[in-house]
Amino acid sequence: MALRMARMFFPLILLVACAGSQVLASEPGNLMKVTTTTRMQMPGMSMPPMSHATTVCTSTRKPDPRRMMQGQKDCKVTDFRREGDVVTYRMACTGAVTMAGEGRFEMLSGGAMRGSLHVTGNSGGRAMTMDTTFEGQRVGSCDYDPPAQ
């Protein structure tokens, strides 16, 4: 179950890192190497941190989790704030797995990024906490195809 929860959130983390656009044609993009580390805690379960590195083509625009969450049924972003290159927000999901959390993303020089997401929730009557950190480095250019809205 813990692995299933982590897999459910990994696309969300990448989506926040990969800001979308409403334009459907290819546009110049950033080729990013993103390393994500997730630590899950559930009462009575001991789980080691899970790390995953992947290379993704992202938009050159600043991330906006409100846009990324549009494709996540039953999830909503609130308290969105952008101050310079830092984005903070709260998120909440209802449905089979309920959760609420806070995220922070920072755009760094050279196209790099880092961030964190802290989520608490309930899955099948079991409480869980998930802390995710990620770092992304620009490793080149690519042709970015925005997701359909």
Cα 42 to Cα 21: distance, rounded to the nearest angstrom:
36
> Is pLDDT above 60 for 67?
no
pTM of the model: 0.71
Share of the chain above pLDDT 70, in %: 73
- Between residues 21 and 35, the one the model is more confident about: 35
> Is pLDDT above 70 for 21?
no
Q: What average pLDDT score do residues 98-116 get?
A: 89
Q: How far is CA 105 from CA 14, 22, 80, 126, 132, in A?
A: 12, 21, 11, 28, 12
Cα 59 to Cα 146: distance, rounded to the nearest angstrom:
8
